[in-house]
Structure 1
């Protein structure tokens, strides 16, 4: 077969954006069948889910938020996915094997069809990657695949990814972003993945009422041994409900069967109303990014002082109802590659913080700015700013619309401090490459030692050695902070008693 060449010359390394979900693998995958979060619906067969927002698109190459992911991953499948333990497992691939440092071979399932009847085969893989990296697609994650220079179709159900350099982190990117599309459907220009998606997943697209809801129906031909499990609802209706109080009211009135992002101050109301609240610790982190390229934050003593200044435990208790654990670095928990259980978070010590700020030459403290996206909880940011003020760091709050916030990470006029949440984070490659690498798309951090470790870890194929390098990176970023490390993320869901068998997922997708 004619190989498909992937034009990555037009994809800048700075095009990288978004979270990564799992650790890289170098050997063939062993099939493991873990059903994902499926629910037995109430009578009538329709499961109604309140999301916190409306996806802007259903093209998987352009989907970057958890609301969109929940819908997209119900319609489409990836070649590989993450199991409950955060490890990769096959989905549409039967195996993924590293033949040599520059070649991944992927054997594909033969019993899979798209919702429109097209067969899933090697052409689908080549087309899906070509769509993701195409200039006209303009995907913000195209750069994650710049190392793939060719997709070689060996036979109808075997492909090889030919790389320009070793990339042990590539399988994690495949699981996160490379969802399979039907090439024949795409050949008709009237067919638009953004508004009328066709995949191989457990649910088929029915319709989209903008501003209101997206409806899906069960895929009756979904392949039997999928680790996602079979669709146990006849229909799923995703409704867009930005107001948390409205979502809770929907749940209590019977208008919704499952709602996302229950506020901690409404947990008691949900439980007193006879419904359940389920929590899931996500493999994600909340932090305040520090721009180390400007004074006074170029001084490591100031960055350490900021970490001593914030009483994260009190924030977790008062504003998160105890749902969270203080972080020592960017890595949230033991499911993530490189997590060091013996690395102790900064203690709350405002006196030490004030002393370090004075040592750095700021006995009267200093003024700065703290930016955050308007989709974040402002009271969390206010709590951080209040505790910084107590040690002399007077941070004025700068709320930004999410789109503006996402586009201005590297702007020289951007605030030195940025409150952010990042999820999921099973593999630290993308976050560290973006946030603290010299040329990272989101980076205002320069540290030769950090850069060396990032490059070594990105090229290391031995799993144990790669784990050790990321552990060293975590320790270095603790000792020379690139952020105020806050807490791991926890999702709270409201679920009616009529819904049985649904289990929250560590990646934050709803189903």
Structure 2
């Protein structure tokens, strides 16, 4: 098994990460791989990682885990069948040794690696994975919304898991390295306290004696874990701090050694003794979702000219350069630079042009504009004054409606708001297509057109990911020309680390302890 390397310690702000070409993650088949090779930046040394995040985990119940900063907790306690390598962004086996689709894409066979054990000492069996996944199919929650194509999961023997689909789902495979890929012991699924008392086979256990739910969570490394060398920290403490100022102060005081910071905080964090500031890859996207493309709430949004007006009305470059101090890449497409179909030329479709926006609104029959309500969450707060001013300048009057951050995802399907700001991490191009333009959570009204339906049908019947690329490129172009969303920018987030901790994620992966390693002193 290959061992992770120790990264050199950097003393200054790394240059902003540009577009990174990544291998496609929606693989039709994967051969055996060493999961330990994916934790570059780790070392067998190290002691404690103490970091601050803003949102508490909703639950440790495998059917209820969600993609958020708190993912560092559940995907440390639970193993996933796969993981997305923070160095190259490729989905690689973890608890599995490999997988293979049937020719028609209706069956996915996954082989488990030998020697897996739950933290209670019991061996991991395929029946445990199958039981967890079958429960996910039946249990309402975020995961259930992502696996509508999954019909059932079988375990023909202790090492083989067979996933059976109602229809081929081209976005499915990356989910094995995310929420769906987690599993627990079949008997633990009957535990009435499963939401707070997780039993996993991952590299860490939740130290309930030291954990204060809603305040701080402590993870203890399992010395008997099969790949312990890839997880250098003996303990991981996650502290909840909703206030970015409090998080920065905790970092400056040495109370935490890793914290996400805002661009405005970069100078203060950098001045902290021993601090290293590292930008993330610009692969995620912040979008103003046009939830109501069908015009059920606001009839105006059914008109492509109105949707185009929204795109012309927003000064993306100004937001990136002035409001975000350059730590963002303006974009007009939802397809990420982390994939293979992102087209730089499409980012010149809607230059900032308020006059053009006003003309389109007038042409569509709304010379005086109209009013719209948008939910106010931690995703939108910083942008609200600017967006209100820019949209208001063309006649679109915005009312921001405060909602709890915990409802930021569920509000999309509430039927109350025609627009909503949303952050979306990159998983794969196919995932992006379905999430935004198919049956995914970012398209809760399941809006489509005859042209889009034809393209999506082609995508959904193409098992070979290479053969699907031309279709994905056409979907990307169509979504931009039809202004089906209002993409804003690819954020470049900043992590401040100290005390021998290094942020090593170069691919913009989801929250995980794999994003951190021990820096050479």
After TM superposition, is the score higher than 0.5? yes
Alpha-carbon separation, structure 2, partners of 1:410 and 1:53: 21
How far is the alpha carbon of 1:36 from its aligned partner? 5.6
Residues 281 and 492 of structure 2 are in contact (CA less than 8 Å); yes or no, is this contact kept in structure 1?
yes
Residues 287 and 421 of structure 1 are in contact (CA less than 8 Å); yes or no, is this contact kept in structure 2?
yes
User: Is 1:400 paired with 2:403?
Assistant: yes
Alpha-carbon separation, structure 1, partners of 2:432 and 2:444: 9
Q: Hey, what does 1:330 align to over in structure 2?
A: 334
Post-superposition, which runs of at least 4 consecutive aligned residues in structure 1 deviate over 6 A? 39-42
1:303-322 paired onto structure 2 within 5 Å? 303-322=307-326
User: Is 1:354 paired with 2:358?
Assistant: yes
Cα distance change of structure 1 residues 373 and 282 upon mapping to structure 2, 3 Å threshold = farther
1:379-415 deviation line (CA, Å, top 9, x unaligned): 3122122111122222222232234443342444x23
How far is the alpha carbon of 1:181 from its aligned partner? 3.0
User: Is 1:379 paired with 2:382?
Assistant: yes
RMSD of equivalent CA atoms: 2.5
Residues 41 and 499 of structure 1 are in contact (CA less than 8 Å); yes or no, is this contact kept in structure 2?
no
Residues 61 and 132 of structure 1 are in contact (CA less than 8 Å); yes or no, is this contact kept in structure 2?
yes
Alpha-carbon separation, structure 1, partners of 2:440 and 2:149: 16
Alpha-carbon separation, structure 2, partners of 1:504 and 1:23: 16
TM-score normalised to structure 2 length: 0.85
How far is the alpha carbon of 1:69 from its aligned partner? 0.8
1:344-399 deviation line (CA, Å, top 9, x unaligned): 342112222222222222233x1222413422241312212211112222222223
Q: Hey, what does 1:166 align to over in structure 2?
A: 168
How far is the alpha carbon of 1:268 from its aligned partner? 0.7
Of the three residues 305, 324, 329, the one matched with 1:301 is 305
Residues 434 and 443 of structure 1 are in contact (CA less than 8 Å); yes or no, is this contact kept in structure 2?
no
Alpha-carbon separation, structure 1, partners of 2:460 and 2:62: 25
Alpha-carbon separation, structure 1, partners of 2:154 and 2:352: 54
Cα distance change of structure 1 residues 166 and 56 upon mapping to structure 2, 3 Å threshold = closer
- Aligned-partner SS, 1:232: coil
Alpha-carbon separation, structure 2, partners of 1:89 and 1:199: 20
- Aligned-partner SS, 1:186: helix
Q: Name stretches of at least 5 consecutive residues in structure 1 with no aligned partner.
A: 1-20
Q: Which stretch of structure 1 is more off in the superposition, 65-74 or 160-169? A: 160-169
Q: Hey, what does 1:268 align to over in structure 2?
A: 267
Cα distance change of structure 1 residues 121 and 249 upon mapping to structure 2, 3 Å threshold = same
1:44-443 paired onto structure 2 within 5 Å? 45-83=47-85, 84-101=87-104, 102-135=106-139, 138-183=140-185, 185-186=187-188, 189=191, 192-207=193-208, 208-224=211-227, 230-260=230-260, 262-274=261-273, 275-290=275-290, 291-294=292-295, 295-333=299-337, 335-345=338-348, 346-364=350-368, 366-412=369-415, 414-422=416-424, 424-437=425-438, 442-443=444-445
Q: Name stretches of at least 5 consecutive residues in structure 2 with no aligned partner.
A: 1-22, 514-521
Residues 133 and 143 of structure 1 are in contact (CA less than 8 Å); yes or no, is this contact kept in structure 2?
no
Cα distance change of structure 1 residues 446 and 180 upon mapping to structure 2, 3 Å threshold = closer
Cα distance change of structure 1 residues 74 and 404 upon mapping to structure 2, 3 Å threshold = closer
Q: Which stretch of structure 1 is more off in the superposition, 246-255 or 22-31? A: 22-31
TM-score normalised to structure 1 length: 0.86
- Aligned-partner SS, 2:504: coil
- Aligned-partner SS, 1:107: strand
Residues 438 and 451 of structure 1 are in contact (CA less than 8 Å); yes or no, is this contact kept in structure 2?
no
User: Is 1:509 paired with 2:511?
Assistant: yes
Alpha-carbon separation, structure 2, partners of 1:374 and 1:482: 22
Residues 278 and 493 of structure 1 are in contact (CA less than 8 Å); yes or no, is this contact kept in structure 2?
yes
Alpha-carbon separation, structure 2, partners of 1:22 and 1:194: 34
How far is the alpha carbon of 1:94 from its aligned partner? 0.8
How far is the alpha carbon of 1:151 from its aligned partner? 2.6
